[in-house]
Amino acid sequence: MLDIKELKKLDIGKVVVSPLMKEYTTYKIGGKADAMVSPKDTDSLIVLLKYLKEKQIAYKIIGNGSNLIFSDEGFDGVIIKLDAFDTLKIDKNVVTVGAGYNLMRLSLKMSRSGFSGLEFASGIPGSVGGAVFMNAGAYKSDMGYVVKSAKVLTPDYTVKTFTNKELDFHYRTSFLKQNPEYICLEATIPLFYGDKNEIMELINERKVRRITSQPLEYPSAGSVFRNPTGLFAGQLIEDLGYKGKKIGGAMVSLKHANFIVNAGDATCKDLEELISSIKKDVKEKYQVELKEEQEFVK
């Protein structure tokens, strides 16, 4: 059982007691966790991990909560946020950035400075670490195309640099996602010199397209399902007449069928039931097994 006083005595960073996870996820869904800790540096993170493992306390590392669905009952354990890992170093065209740095902020900052390569990330509301973890992407590009290497904390508490090949990026997954006991601390991303006006024009065009085609006015977590090979999940779902379908407060977007939105006080249970219904019907109609991009945390 977690002893909050003992946890605070470790003096490793900010501790929030009983955080409501709906306040830390883009879906705005989820009950209370026991505590949330934001370690101030790598040494503090190691102290925290050793403490939690010694006490056999569950933990979950999150970024911006843009791909997570927490249980309505909450999380029996400690949430770890790497907000303090937000350093940014720019050496000519090479960016070295902390796992807690906001990916959209990084994309816009570098693009406005005339660097090309991160345009695809200008609308992805995650952290750098979370994006590397799940190989976030858009517009036929993803982190696997741009990350040269990542500094990673291993399960034996050593810091190791993983090359792009070792990170084993594939569509919406990576070595880190398959081995979550390894933690991304920092990423190195070489960019290209480009024309600032052309780069920003492309980003602005895509922003307008997102506003018209995605339900940005509602809490959501982006695309619910991965696109099956050679197909579009949203098209399959739309063809089954799911646009606008609701279970409780969870609704399939009227703008884009691969988005489920929190249309008002949605619960984790609402989302689970709607996602299960979609998967079942797509499987029966098209013999296609849809795979979620999002993760349920219980």
Residue 144: partners with Cβ closer than 8 Å, 6 or more residues away: 135, 137, 164, 167, 169, 170, 174
**In this structure, what token pair is assigned to residue 212?**
């018209």
State the Cα–Cα distance between residues 135 and 72, nearest whole angstrom.
27
Which residue among 107, 223, 253, 292 is the active-site one?
Answer: 223
- Strands (DSSP E) found in 87-241: 88-91, 94-98, 115-116, 137-138, 141-142, 149-153, 159-163, 183-190, 192-193, 220-223
Strand partners, 37: 15, 80
Q: Quote the crossing angle between the two packed helices 196-213 and 103-112, to the nearest 10°.
A: 140
Examine the residue annotation and report whether 172 is marked as an active-site residue of this protein.
yes
Which residue among 66, 111, 172, 253 is the active-site one?
Answer: 172
Examine the residue annotation and report whether 293 is marked as an active-site residue of this protein.
yes
Residue 118: partners with Cβ closer than 8 Å, 6 or more residues away: 106, 107, 110, 111, 146, 189, 191
Short-list 109, 63, 107, 59, CA closest to 85: 63
Place of tokens 């920092």: 186
Examine the residue annotation and report whether 209 is marked as an active-site residue of this protein.
no
Residue 70: partners with Cβ closer than 8 Å, 6 or more residues away: 21, 22, 25, 29, 30, 31, 33, 268, 297, 298
- Residue 120 is classified by DSSP as G
Place of tokens 């619910």: 224
**Residue type (1 letter), 84:** A
- DSSP-derived pairing of the beta strands 59-62 and 75-81: parallel
Catalytic residue IDs: 172, 223, 293
